[in-house]
Structure 1
Amino acid sequence: MTNLLEFDNIHYAYPNCQESLSGVTFSIKKGARVALVGPNGAGKTTLLLMCNGVLEPSKGRVLLDGRPLRYDSRSLREVRKKVGLVFQNSDTQLFAPTVYQDVAFGPLNLGMTQDEIRSAVARSLAAVGLTGYEKRPPHQLSGGEKKRAAIAGTLAMEPEVLVFDEPTSSLDPAGAADLMELLDEFNAKGTTIIISTHDVELAYLWADQIILMNKGKVIHAGTPEEVFTDPTLITSSNLRMPAVLEVYTELVSRLMVEKTQSPKSVLQLISLLEQSSSKPRADRVPGTITVCDVDATSAEEITAWIADHPGVRCGAMGTRAKNLAECESISLDFTYGVIDKGILRALVGDCSVLLTPASMVPHVFRRVDAYCRESGNTIAVFHLNPKTQSPATGITKEGNQKG
């Protein structure tokens, strides 16, 4: 991966204030999932506002695709087509009388035709699960719906980079999980995602690059494991260790598990405990995971398949999958952490079907395959074909028919 965004010795001070950023230097690769982590006042929001030129450094350079940002109106318009910013408070970003007009604002300013604008709005609202909300006034939306409307307005510009300031703030746990799944879906399509957060649990599990900040400086830039397993870094940034790491550290200190690669999830921690257990495992046939692409399978086929397989656990990833489940009254056993929960159920012999958009299907196969290689367990994953396949037969990996 090549560097998409670079921050070179960035300094910035608001009027009559001390520097909010002081000598910030790091780079972000194309397709990455990056979390800026640090306490309040660390400089995270100020740095995010540099990404698409809302703020100009007082010293240093921001580079996009290897070229320094220029701050004239024409240049900034081009930058903001590539880098979309979603603010922490959605009310500051939603200002038009209707959702349609809000989402259409960016394309309109790009000089698109009315047909192009209608297409961009429809595509963006569908992506965030707000189709049918076009005439709704933004102030009548819930907090989660406002956040999605703000994202849709940014998506209408078709950016290569999506930047979010505290994306899960003001959302309940279910809404936060839905939003992070939505970001995963965008990332699976190749979009670079940058978020700021002080939620160490979210950052540790989600990101592949952590930029640890405090008092306007970058304390460390590295992988989640590098950052969150270093007590000195955590203490110096006024943060805490993620809960799963804290439990793992205690288990290692008690010689209950061997010190190995740090677990990022409950699933990985359970796997370590099972491997370290002196008790023989129960002789249980593992369950299977069936992946259903909701973009290629009709609602009728999905409900019929589920009816033909009583007892199968059901999970849904992404807005379209969850909307389909709600419309068809499909009872969901998993609505967040869906892949890991499917794996956990398979380990105790249960079969699961995971409803997911097309873009996330390969991710499910890769995630289960990675777990099986790491743990030594074997879990069969099938691509649902309602006409010919069941949890016991099908495709073990995409494109290969199981014999």
Structure 2
Amino acid sequence: MTEYIIETKDLEFVYPDGTYALRKLTISIQKGKKIAIVGANGAGKTTLFLNLNGVYKPTGGKVYFEGKEMIYNKKDILALKRNIGIVFQDANAQLFSASVFQEVSFGPMNLGLPKEEVRKRVEDALAKTGIAHLKKKPIHFLSGGQKKRVSIADILAMDPKVIFLDEPTAFVDPKTSSELMAFFDVLNKEGKTIVLSTHDMDKVYPWADYVFVMKEGAVIAEGIPQDIFRDDEVLKRADLEKPWMIAAYEEIIKRKPYLSKEEVPKTKEALFQLMTK
């Protein structure tokens, strides 16, 4: 039986200026999966994350966490913030402490944990993100990639069940971007549900288990990556580019129609192997 960790029904959010950011949005996020939420700028991805994390209170509709409806009172908001972490696109908007260790310890300390437990969580988070050697370094001396890792360590130290990553590969170089995507795989294998938003369809296609496509605050399509990224109509509506691997596959089967029944490749190696058949 499919187990959903987060669900929304007719979720709506309107900004104070009257802008509708979310419109009757209904989604179900499966526990333990790697989920991608894609869409052009202004589609509502960040607003959705902030509603599900408890930063914003929905204007209408319902949110369920582990089957329980969230009322967005003080108790529910605290539960959401403990269980659903969010890493912002711009690490500078998230980091504010003097040193790396102080920064990553802030969240666990606010949970009222004993000092030894806080220290253990911080050291574990720094080790997992590969920045233990930076723990005494001032935040303002870090590179963009290092700041991104600190912002992820911030969330790991809280030990949430779900991690939202808003454009996690923005402002970092290609090598760091690939390393981060591989790291998100590791976190998922450790039991975390990972939900990320991105403009990089080439990165998300081979990574995601399931994809939601947003446009103007609503979900216009959802499904497995192989289906979503071969749907030209959906991609056009959402102003999204087709992943190069899908484009290459479709070009191959145009020239070799007998390969159309082969599984759509999700890795470069699988694509190259298909080319030799």
TM-score range, shorter chain: over 0.9
Task: Provide the identity percentage.
Answer: 39
Q: How much has 1:69 moved relative to structure 2?
A: 1.9
Q: What does the per-residue CA deviation read over 1:132-158, in whole Å, with 9 as the maximum and x for residues that have no partner? A: 322211111111111111111111111
Instruction: Name the CA distance, whole Å, in 2 between partners of 1:38 and 1:93.
Output: 23
Instruction: Name the CA distance, whole Å, in 2 between partners of 1:81 and 1:207.
Output: 24
Give 1:220's aligned residue: 221
Instruction: Name the CA distance, whole Å, in 2 between partners of 1:263 and 1:17.
Output: 44
How many residue pairs match? The answer is: 275
Instruction: Name the CA distance, whole Å, in 2 between partners of 1:51 and 1:11.
Output: 12
Q: What does the per-residue CA deviation read over 1:204-252, in whole Å, with 9 as the maximum and x for residues that have no partner? A: 1110110001111101111001111111111111112111111111121
SS across alignment from 1:84: strand
Contact 1:11 1:23 (8 Å CA) reproduced: yes
Give the AA of the match of 1:57.
P
Q: What does the per-residue CA deviation read over 1:181-220, in whole Å, with 9 as the maximum and x for residues that have no partner? A: 1111100111100000111111111101100011111011
Give 1:269's aligned residue: 271
Q: What does the per-residue CA deviation read over 1:25-56, in whole Å, with 9 as the maximum and x for residues that have no partner? A: 01011111000011111111111112211111
Q: How much has 1:256 moved relative to structure 2?
A: 6.2
SS across alignment from 2:52: coil
Contact 1:257 1:272 (8 Å CA) reproduced: no
Give 1:42's aligned residue: 43
**1:137-176 map, 5 Å:** 137-176=138-177
Instruction: Name the CA distance, whole Å, in 2 between partners of 1:70 and 1:123.
Output: 33
Contact 1:121 1:156 (8 Å CA) reproduced: yes
Query: Relative contact order: is structure 1 or structure 2 higher (C-alpha 8 Å, sep ≥ 6)?
Result: 2
SS across alignment from 1:139: helix
Unaligned runs of 5+ in 1: 277-403
Q: What does the per-residue CA deviation read over 1:85-115, in whole Å, with 9 as the maximum and x for residues that have no partner? A: 1111111111111111111111111111111
Give the AA of the match of 2:89.
Q
Give the AA of the match of 2:144.
G
Contact 2:252 2:275 (8 Å CA) reproduced: no
Q: How much has 1:121 moved relative to structure 2?
A: 0.8
Give 1:254's aligned residue: 255
Contact 1:11 1:20 (8 Å CA) reproduced: yes
Give 2:32's aligned residue: 31
The structure with more helix, counted as a fraction of residues: 2
Q: How much has 1:267 moved relative to structure 2?
A: 1.3
Give the AA of the match of 1:58.
T
Q: How much has 1:82 moved relative to structure 2?
A: 1.0
Give the AA of the match of 2:7.
E
Instruction: Name the CA distance, whole Å, in 2 between partners of 1:119 and 1:266.
Output: 39
Instruction: Name the CA distance, whole Å, in 2 between partners of 1:149 and 1:73.
Output: 28
Instruction: Name the CA distance, whole Å, in 2 between partners of 1:130 and 1:265.
Output: 29
Instruction: Name the CA distance, whole Å, in 2 between partners of 1:136 and 1:73.
Output: 35
Instruction: Name the CA distance, whole Å, in 2 between partners of 1:173 and 1:256.
Output: 34
Q: What does the per-residue CA deviation read over 1:242-286, in whole Å, with 9 as the maximum and x for residues that have no partner? A: 111111111211226510222222211122222x2xxxxxxxxxx
**Runs of 4 or more consecutive aligned structure 1 residues displaced over 3 Å after TM superposition:** none
Mean CA deviation greater in 88-97 or 250-259: 250-259
Q: Is 1:229 aligned to 2:230, yes or no?
A: yes
Question: Could you say which structure has the larger radius of gyration?
Answer: 1
Give the AA of the match of 1:96.
S
Q: How much has 1:72 moved relative to structure 2?
A: 2.8
Give 2:115's aligned residue: 114
Give the AA of the match of 2:117.
E
Instruction: Name the CA distance, whole Å, in 1 between partners of 2:242 and 2:76.
Output: 42
Contact 1:257 1:273 (8 Å CA) reproduced: no
Instruction: Name the CA distance, whole Å, in 2 between partners of 1:63 and 1:166.
Output: 24
Q: How much has 1:75 moved relative to structure 2?
A: 2.7
SS across alignment from 2:27: strand
Give 1:63's aligned residue: 64
Instruction: Name the CA distance, whole Å, in 2 between partners of 1:91 and 1:183.
Output: 21
SS across alignment from 1:162: strand
Instruction: Name the CA distance, whole Å, in 1 between partners of 2:44 and 2:80.
Output: 22
TM-score, structure 2 as length reference:
0.96
TM-score, structure 1 as length reference:
0.66
Give 1:333's aligned residue: none
Instruction: Name the CA distance, whole Å, in 1 between partners of 2:11 and 2:153.
Output: 30
Give the AA of the match of 2:65.
L
Give the AA of the match of 2:38.
V
Give 1:100's aligned residue: 101
Instruction: Name the CA distance, whole Å, in 2 between partners of 1:254 and 1:224.
Output: 23
Give the AA of the match of 1:113.
P
Instruction: Name the CA distance, whole Å, in 1 between partners of 2:49 and 2:57.
Output: 11
